[in-house]
Every structure is written in C-alpha cells, then in structure tokens.
Homo-oligomer: A and B are copies of this chain.
Amino acid sequence: MKKKINAVQFGLGPIGQLCAKTILQKHSERINLVGAVDIDPSKVGKELGELLGIDKTGIEVESDIKNILKKKKVDLVFHTTTSFMSDVRKQLIDLIKLKLNIVSSTEELFFPRYRNREIAEEIDNLAKKFKVRVLGTGVNPGFVMDVLPSVLTQVCTSVKRIRVERVVNASKRRLPLQLKIGAGLKVSEFKEKKATGRFGHIGLVESLQFLAYVLNIQLDEIKEELDPIVTYKNLRTDYLTIQKGRVAGIHHRAIGFKDGNEVIELDLKMFIGDHRDYDAVYIDGEPPIKMKILNGVFGDTATVGSLINCGYLIFNAKPGLLTMADIGLPHGFFSQK
C-alpha cells in the first residue's frame, strides 16, 4: 500500500474524539496522528490521551493548527466541526491555504454543488490552486443513502426508481443526536425549529442530488418533507424523559421527480422507541434489487469509519473539491484491532 499519512484531528466534539481515538488505537499503521485542534478553552492545552480516556499520546490539544505545522509535516486534516457550509467555509479556506488535504464530516459538504454552489466553487478553485483534496463523507450522507444505492445499480441494465429507507432507534445514541432530532419537544416547538431551516437531518437532499448525479438523472423537482414522530407512550433514555404526545424524533423524506414521476425517494426515520434499526435499498429495475442491512449501520462508528478510510483513499484523486464518486472504489481495511 501507500506511504503512511501524517494527520491532524480538527474539532474534538464526540465524533472528533472518536475519530482521534480510533486512529490512535486501530489505524496507526497507516495514519500517524500528529496533532489535535479545538477552540474550546476547556480542551486546549490538555494531553489528548487524557481527553480521550486513553494512554498518553504525546499530543497536546492546540487552539491553532499553525502551532502543529511549525513542528510537523501534515498531509491530511480530519475535519469534524459543524454541519453547514456557511459555518465551515472559513475553516476550510484557512486549511486549504495551509496546503492541507481535508476529509470532513460536514454534511452539506458531501455534495454542495447545488445548494451551496458559490462556496463549493470557491473551495474547488482554491483546492486546485493549492493542490489539495477536499471531501465530505460519513455514513449519512456518505454511504447508506447515496454511495451504497449507487453501487447496487452496477449490475442493473435499467434503473427506473430507487427507494432508500433508514430507520434509526436513537434511544442508545448520544445526547446531542437525541436533541438534534427534537426528542422531548412539543409539536409546536418542533414546527418552530423546522421553520429555521436548520433542523432535521442535514444532508438528505445532498444524498439525493449525489444519486441523481451518479445515475445521470436530470431531476425536474425535489420535494422535502419533515414531520415529527410523536410518541403515544412515555419514553426514557439515559438522558431524556419524553412524555406521551411529545416528539420522539423525525421522519424526514426527500423525493426527486423526473417527468412527473418519483424516481428517487429517501426516507429517514430517527426516533426514540423500542423499534429495531435497519437500512434498506429497493431498486425498481432489471434485475430488481431488495437489499436490507439488518440492525442498520451504527452511525457514530460508521461516520468515523468513512472519515478514516476515505481520508486514506482521497490521495487516489486529483486536487479539488471531491465527491465520493472521485476516490475510486470506496472500502475499508483489514485490522485485527
């Protein structure tokens, strides 16, 4: 395989911490973690191992990546800060100007060329100028509702319609995710949040646009629907108590139309309850395909898996703002750890 990569973890929220820990514990043969960055004053200056609850790492959390670059050569940044392009624009531009390749969990970065066209073009141009690669990936967007259904069509002589379902039981997930899906809200509060345009699952439309792009579908229209899933019994998680009649989570759909027909439907349910997780892809084509992942793909681990594996694979691609269709066959790596 290729040479070892020097990487920095940028952002030490729950996903960033899991990413750093996983690199150190499982991927040290391929990836050498040489630094970690966060803006939170309670984290800056701390020994990374202490923050992660593992052995000493010799890495101290920095507030500014430039302090790391003075001492170390860095090839790649694992960027895990926020979901929206407008919020990460400056972070990405600064990293690109430092000639750093970036793999990011920012959901809107997964396929930004339509809904964030201007920022996407700016980043693409800069990345080409500074000869670095920038990729947004994860599990959703990044795998379940976009990459996986794309690959399943490899064997189809025709593809007429694709439907993807993801059902996530958020009961065992971390608190920020439970809050992200509105768990515990009144229905009226849910509607207010929805009106901000920054609520619900981020990246669903980007997954749909990626699928349409890969399969060469010129969509006429995209509809998005976001509804609360209301619980009819009292629910409890480690963090929350949810009374009946309140919101248990979201039902979020994105539908792509072509010539008046629904040709892509992405249907996501994330809620607290006692249901089982699963992912399913249904392809109406020749041959028809009905795929199911039993018990689903566990989100946090899988997001980190995508980041680490694709972080390694982006060096297959030419510089620029990349998509998951640009890095070759996506895959992971054997590891007994």
Contact surface of A with B, Cβ cutoff 8 Å: 1, 22, 26-27, 139, 143, 147-148, 150-160, 214-217, 258, 263, 285-295, 297-298, 301-306, 308-310, 324-326, 328-337
Q: Is the CB of A26 within 8 A of B158?
A: yes
Q: Which residues of B contact A294 (CB under 8 A)?
A: 290-292
Instruction: Report the bound CA distance from A263 to B289 in whole Å.
Output: 28
Q: Is the CB of A217 within 8 A of B334?
A: yes
Q: Which residues of B contact A26 (CB under 8 A)?
A: 157-158
Instruction: Report the bound CA distance from A293 to B258 in whole Å.
Output: 27
Q: Is the CB of B329 within 8 A of A325?
A: yes
Instruction: Report the bound CA distance from A329 to B22 in whole Å.
Output: 26
Q: Is the CB of B216 within 8 A of A151?
A: no
Instruction: Report the bound CA distance from A186 to B12 in whole Å.
Output: 65
Q: Is the CB of A335 within 8 A of B155?
A: no
Q: Which residues of B contact A308 (CB under 8 A)?
A: 157
Q: How many copies does the complex hold?
A: 2
Known: A215-B333, A287-B298. 8 other contacts (CB 8 A): A147-B154, A148-B151, A153-B332, A157-B301, A159-B335, A216-B334, A286-B305, A287-B305
Instruction: Report the bound CA distance from A291 to B305 in whole Å.
Output: 17
Among B27, B285, B330, contact of A329 (Cβ-Cβ < 8 Å): B330
Q: Is the CB of A293 within 8 A of B289?
A: yes
Among B215, B287, B293, B309, contact of A290 (Cβ-Cβ < 8 Å): B293
* A186 CB → nearest B CB, Å: 34
Q: Which residues of B contact A305 (CB under 8 A)?
A: 154-157, 286-287
On whether A310 and B1 interact (CB within 8 A), knowing A214-B331, A305-B287, the answer reads no
Q: Is the CB of B329 within 8 A of A324?
A: yes
Q: Identify the interface centre among A263, A325, A334: most chain B CB within 10 Å of its CB.
A: A334
Q: Which residues of B contact A332 (CB under 8 A)?
A: 153-159, 215, 285
Q: List 23 A-B contacts (CB under 8 A).
A: A1-B216, A26-B158, A27-B157, A147-B329, A151-B329, A151-B330, A153-B333, A154-B330, A155-B309, A159-B333, A159-B335, A160-B336, A216-B334, A285-B335, A287-B297, A287-B305, A289-B293, A290-B293, A290-B294, A291-B292, A291-B293, A324-B329, A329-B330
